[in-house]
Amino acid sequence: MARKSEYRNRVELVQGTLDMLVLQTLQWGPQHGYGIVQALHTHSGEVLQVETGSLYPALHRLERQGWVRSEWKMTESNQRARFYRITAAGKKQLASDHDRWRLMVGAIAAVMQKTGSTE
Amino acid sequence: MRVWRWWFGRRGDVDEEIQTHLRMAVAERVARGESPEEARRAVLREFGNVALVREVTRAAWGWEWMERVGQDARYAVRQLRRSPGFAVTVIVTLALGLGATAAMFTVVNRVLFRTMPYKDAGRLVVIQESGRRGVFYSGVPYLDIEAWRGRAKSFEEIAFSVLAGGRTFLEGGAGAEQVEHRMVSTNLFHVLGVEPAMGRGFADDKNAGFAETGDENTVVLSDAVWRESFGGDRKILGKVVKMNGQSYTVVGVMPRGFGFPAEAKSPQIWTAVALRDSDKTRTNQSTTYETIARMKHGVSVADAEAEMKVVQVEVAKQYPDMYARDLVSSAKVKRYRDSLVGTDVRRALLALFAASGVLWLIACVNATGLLLARGTARRREIAVRGALGASRWRIVRQLLVEGLMLSVGGSVLGLALAVVLLKVFAHGLTTQLHVDGVMPDERAIGVLLGLTIFSAVVSSMWPAVVSARASIEPALRQGGAQSGAARGQHRVRGLLVVTQIALSLLLMVSCGLLLRTIYALQHVPLGFLTDHIIVGNMTIPAYKYAGQDMATELYRPLLERAKTLPGVESAALMTEVPLGTTFRMVFSFGVEGNSADTVKRRDFRAQFRAVSPEMQKVFGFRMLKGRFFNESDTPGSQAVVVVNRAFVKEFSESNDPGKMLGQRLLSLEKGKPAIVVGVLDDERQVSVAEKSQPEIEVCLPQLTPQSGFYKASEGMAMDLAVRTERSPASVVPELRDLMRKASPELGSTKFTTMNQIVEDSYGNQQIAARLLMVFGGSALLLCLAGLYGLLAYLVTQRTRELGVRIALGAQRGHVMWLVMRQAGWMLLCGSAVGLGLAYFTSRLVGSFLYGVKPHDAWTMVAVSVLLVGSGLGAAFVPARRAAKVDPMEALRAE
């Protein structure tokens, strides 16, 4: 059924990971919500399709924490959209998130490798 | 800060953000070749639930609870507007409770907790001496103060002061005005921690506190005097002003709002105390000073008092006269603030405050009952909300907000009621408690706000929880039948009404006791007439008559002129009218020695009055034996005095008035012994409630400047009593004119009537009785309303059951009896509990009562009958409605 194939691309992301990805995207320059979705989709090799239902809450959460700032600007197609940009505090948070992520990845990889060798 | 950013900016943004997102997604799909409608549908499907996303995004900020509360408030207002009767009832109910409590708190706050214009007033104390006779002497000779300074370690500094003798008149811009003149030690302002606003104050005599030689005639003005008498003259320092004819130099002006003593009746000025010879000894002639001391940090009043008691034993030993030593063998230390209010006044105020709290409780209970009833009526609406997904907490919160709105409305109305109440009692408060302009201040309003929130929680929490916990399904079903839970609720509401009845009975019993007291006081035979007597309290500028005989220069002409006024039947002068409070003189025998007889004589105290012979015509009292003064008593004839029966009883062993006549008691002046020429029947001269005190009177015309009594009797205050049928409004201006002609300072004399003075003398009980009438009456009203409300509700609930009963043949009377029986049960239980409570607590008002015991059975029975009777009356209406139920209507299926 058509619906199932649509959802195939959705990957469940832990909340913290979504924050990190958004911050990373904004690292490349200020962007509006739709643009962030597209960017993530493109740069992940069309694997990650962020659910908008989680994106906007995440963006507002980040703004509340002071890691991003937002303002109304005009896009290329002359539409008014809310552009988000990362702040200095956000950059620090991104760095620490990235470190934690690398730690997580390394730990999981170690576990998976171990299981493979004992077989 | 974030709140502002959120409130004004981001709240509305989310919608637009989402719309933009959707538009861009649709645009991209269309660009890829889809049709607009398809694109839109696909985008929406992908997006998910727009509303939900919006909610969650908004929630990310964490401030949406404020919006929810705003929603609740708006909804509550809508609901309340739809049932105005209910809203008004609850608001009025709460207003009664909150208003009474607010008013009482304002009074208590003002009288007991007033803020004093001194630094760290908690550490200021008064030191008093006491001894054998159990009397506390707040005045002590200077040598004692010096001894305390040397020995007592609890105090940083001790200052002292004394009211200047006589009345002081300050000559200012508008003529001579009477001021309160206090002589103070030079360190007084330092002890109080307040510096003069202008000038340096008194030069400090480093140790003793007396004025340095040359500095005696210096004066410090209070802000009020500076502004009123001298027009706020900025160059007042160093100017010379005249007081009682003497010149003083102004050395300082105190800041606005400062006063010592704390609440002054007239404008104040202070001069430095001058050291006199009499201060070097401890005799009857030594000036006695009132002390005020600052305790060291960390010393408590109890500690200071314990130390003083020990120190005082040593100090007392230094008194040469053994009799005097006994009188000062111990000491007492009291906080300055507490010394301004008597203990029984304090207790009475707190008792009345408690009474207002009881009224508040009754009001809250009533409100709870009403809210419970309303909760039942709104069962279905709440069930629908629950079915739509509202959590229990959400429902409770919404009902709480409703309760809070009602409470706020009640507190606004209550504040208005409190102001009205305070205005109505203003006269009583001024005379009895010496506070005027009592109005709710910031502290009172703050407490009111807190109480409002508390009332809201107390009265609406429980109905809210009950409503929220009700099961949804039975409520949504058509024709909700009575379930077991509702039965329990009825029992609880019945219990609430019983509580109300008990508390109301408590208030009404206290009210009844006080009303009986007032009645008894009003019918005490005073021993003299009080109707149609106008009294003027004069303060005498004695300094103007130095070297003259005031009796002939001032008093005789004044009295003659007063008698000739049209409509005046008789007029008399006396140092103080009976029951007056402006000027009291106490007489004691000036004997020496320590034998048992002399000690008894020295202990003797009698009220002293100098009166003119016309007093008997004005007041119409009886003589028990002998005669009163008359025109034949002149300075040349035999000096005479008159005593009363109580004097005879206390003074002579034989207690025979006849034997008293002709006795020599005292000498008016050297070589002029006075004999007793008459014995008065007893009269109440100090207070209506106290029995007659021993009294001795001398004849005013007989006092010449040579007499020892002259200065005190004639030179300070005098009351003019005029018997006339005319109304006070017409006679007072003429009397005032008369006085002004005699001496300009007498123009500001206060006039009142004898009846008013009598009423003021039991003014404490009067206020308490009136207040309790207000409280008791409100409590009764609330109680009846609660009872009526509950019964009406029950009858509505039981309509079907009653219809069945009637259809099955029950008589109408029997149905009425069913309802009345329920009411009767509640009334009886409530009355029983209430009487029990009253029995235990009426002891608190015991000190106020007169002529009736705290556990008076008559009052309790009468009040109970009143309560039960009116309760049954209130129950009558629902009962009749129950009896009128038409069985056909009731049985028809709903």
Confidence of residue A4 (pLDDT cuts 50, 70, 90): very low
Instruction: Inspect the interface and report whether the beta carbons of A52 and B16 lie closer than 8 Å.
Output: no
β-bridge partners, B496: none
pLDDT of residue B389: 84
Per-residue pLDDT for B865 more than 90? yes
**10 Å Cβ neighbour count for B869?**
11
In B, which residues are within 8 Å of A42 by CB distance?
A: none
Residues from chain A that touch B20, judged by Cβ atoms under 8 A, are 32-34, 79-82
Residue A10 vs residue B530, higher pLDDT: B530
pLDDT at residue B70 in the model: 87
> Comparing C-alpha atoms, which of B592, B603, B600, B590 is closest to residue B665?
B590
Which pair of structure tokens corresponds to residue B101? Answer: 């409590």
Which residue type, as a one-letter code, is found at position B500?
Q
Contact A79 B52 (CB under 8 A): no
**How many Å apart are CA A21 and CA A98, to the nearest integer?**
9
| pLDDT confidence of residue B363 | 93
Q: A60 touching B, CB under 8 A?
A: yes
Lowest average pLDDT, out of B339-343, B410-414, B785-789, B837-841, goes to B339-343
Q: Which residue has the higher pLDDT, B859 or B1?
A: B859
Phi, psi of B509 (to 5 degrees): -65, -45
CB B625 within 8 A of CB B662: no
B13 closest CB neighbour out of A51, A57, A82:
A82
Tokens of B333: 């230390």
pLDDT at residue A118, rounded to an integer? 53
Q: Which residues of B touch A51 (CB under 8 A)?
A: 48
Backbone angles phi, psi at B631, to 5 degrees: -65, -20
Domains of chain A: 2-118 (1.10.10.10)
Does A10 touch chain B if contact means CB atoms closer than 8 Å?
Answer: no
pLDDT tens sequence across B191-212: 888 888 888 878 776 666 676 6
- B651 close to B604: Cβ distance less than 8 angstroms: yes
Instruction: Lowest mean pLDDT of A103-117, B482-496, B601-615, name the range.
Output: B482-496
Enclosing H/E stretch for B826? helix B812-841
Give the gap in angstroms from C-alpha A86 to the nearest C-alpha of chain B. 18
Comparing CB atoms, the residue among A33, A51, A60 nearest residue B21 is A33
Is A64 within 8 Å of B25 when comparing Cβ atoms?
Answer: no
What residues does B130 pair with on adjacent strands?
Answer: B136, B330
User: Per-residue pLDDT for A75 more than 90?
Assistant: no
Both structure tokens of B312: 């005082």
Angle formed by the axes of helices B379-387 and B392-424, nearest 10°: 140
- Whether residue B53 and residue A80 make contact (CB cut-off 8 A), yes or no, is no
From the number of C-beta atoms within 10 Å of its C-beta (0-12, 13-18, 19+), residue B599 rates as: middle
Strand B168-172, strand B139-141: pairing: unpaired
C-alpha to C-alpha distance for B128 and B288, rounded to whole angstroms: 11
Closest CA to B685 of B757, B609, B579, B612: B579
- Does the pLDDT value for residue B28 go beyond 90? no
> Would the CB atoms of A34 and B20 count as touching at under 8 Å?
yes
Report pLDDT digits (tens) over B231-250: 888 888 888 888 888 888 88
Nearest to B379 by CA among B463, B484, B497: B463
Amino acid at B110: R
Above 70 in pLDDT, residue A3? no
CA B177 to CA B199: how far, in whole Å?
23
CB contact under 8 A, A56 and B48: no
CB-nearest to B53 from A32, A53, A80 is A53
A69 touches chain B (CB under 8 A): no
Query: Do the Cβ atoms of B60 and A82 come within 8 Å?
Result: no
Q: How far apart are CA B861 and CA B832, in angstroms?
A: 11
- The angle subtended at Cα B761 by Cα B336 and Cα B689, nearest 5°, is 100
Neighbouring CB atoms inside 10 A of B625's CB total 18
Cα separation, B345 vs B350, whole angstroms = 9
Average pLDDT over residues B756-764: 84
Tell me how many residue pairs between chain A and chain B have CB atoms under 8 A apart: 63
CB A43 within 8 A of CB A26: no
> Is a pLDDT exceeding 50 seen at residue A6?
no
Quickly state the pLDDT bin for B361 (edges 50, 70, 90). Answer: very high
Q: Do A34 and B47 touch (CB under 8 A)?
A: no
- pLDDT, tens only, B134-154: 777 778 888 888 888 888 888
Q: pLDDT at position A8, please?
A: 47
Query: Do the chains contact at B61 and A60, CB–CB below 8 Å?
Result: yes
Query: What distance in Å separates residue A6's CA from the closest CA in chain B?
Result: 9
Cα four-point dihedral sign B1, B2, B4, B5: positive
Q: Please tell me which residue, B728 or B652, carries the higher pLDDT value.
A: B728
B839, with CB counted inside 10 A (0-12, 13-18, 19+), is middle
Q: Does A33 sit within 8 Å of B23, measured CB to CB?
A: no
pLDDT digits (tens, 9 = 90+) for B53-85: 777 777 777 777 788 888 889 999 998 898 888
Residue A25: helix, strand or coil by DSSP? helix
Per the structure block, which two tokens stand in for B98? 């909150």
Per-residue pLDDT tens digits for B682-713: 777 777 777 778 888 888 888 887 777 777 77
Please state, in angstroms and rounded to a whole number, the distance separating the CA atoms of residues A5 and A10: 10
A101 at interface of B, judged by CB pairs closer than 8 A: no
Band of pLDDT at residue B213, cut at 50, 70 and 90: low
Burial B498-515 (b: 16+ CB within 10 A, else e): bbbbbbbbbbbbbbbbbb
Give the pLDDT mean for B28-54: 83
Give the strand pairing for B218-221 and B246-253. Answer: parallel
Cβ–Cβ under 8 Å, residues B280 and B145: no
Cα gap B260→A5, rounded to integer Å:
91
B392 membership: H or E segment, kind and range: helix B392-424
Q: B862 pLDDT band (50/70/90 cuts)?
A: very high
Which residues of chain B have a CB within 8 Å of the CB of A80?
Answer: 16, 20
Asked if the model's pLDDT at residue B355 lies above 50, the reply is yes
Minimal Cα–Cα distance from A113 to chain B, Å?
Answer: 37
CA B393 to chain centre: 43
B10 CB neighbours in chain A (<8 A) are: 60, 63
pTM of this prediction exceeds 0.80: no
Which percentage of chain A shows pLDDT scores above 90?
21
Residue A9 has pLDDT above 50, yes or no: no
Between B222 and B438, the higher pLDDT residue: B222
Rg of chain B taking only CA atoms, in angstroms: 37
Instruction: Please tell me which residue, A6 or B206, carries the higher pLDDT value.
Output: B206
Mutate to test the interface with B, among A56, A65, A69 (most CBs of B within 10 A): A56
Tell me if B517 sits within 8 A of B850, measured CB to CB: yes
Q: To the nearest 10°, report the CA torsion of B756, B757, B762, B767.
A: 40
Question: What letter represents residue B24's amino acid?
Answer: M
Report the range of poorest mean pLDDT among A50-59, B311-320, B519-528, B596-605.
B596-605
Interchain CB distance below 8 Å, B21 and A34: yes
The first and second tokens of residue B10, run together, are 């981001």
Least CB–CB distance from B20: residue in A58, A59, A79: A79
Which chain B residue has the Cα nearest residue A2?
A: B42
Q: Is residue B400 very low, low, confident or very high in pLDDT (cuts 50, 70, 90)? A: very high
| Residue contact B57–A56, C-beta within 8 A | yes
> Given A6, A51, A63, which is nearest B48 (Cβ)?
A51
Q: Residue A1 has what pLDDT?
A: 40
Higher pLDDT, B484 or B449: B449
Mean pLDDT of chain A: 81
For residue B149, what are the contacts with CB-CB under 8 A and spacing of at least 6?
A: B158
Residues of A (77-96) whose Cβ lies below 8 Å from B:
77, 79-82
Which has the closest alpha carbon to B506: B137, B128, B830?
A: B830
Q: How close, in Å, is residue B368 to chain A by CA atoms?
A: 42
Q: Do B17 and A33 touch (CB under 8 A)?
A: yes
Cβ neighbours of B535 (radius 10 Å): 24
pLDDT at A92 over 90: yes
The amino acid sitting at B597 is D
- Residue closest to B18 by CA, chosen among A48, A29, A19, A32: A32
Rounded to a whole number, what is the distance in Å from the CA of B10 to chain A's nearest CA? 9
Compute the Cα dihedral for B792, B798, B800, B804 and give only its sign.
negative
Beta bridge partners of B292: B159
With both helix axes pointing from N to C terminus, report the angle between B343-377 and B379-387 in degrees, rounded to the nearest 10. 70
Please say if the pLDDT value at position B546 is more than 50. Answer: yes
ipTM of the complex: 0.77
Interchain proximity A57–B60, CB inside 8 Å: yes
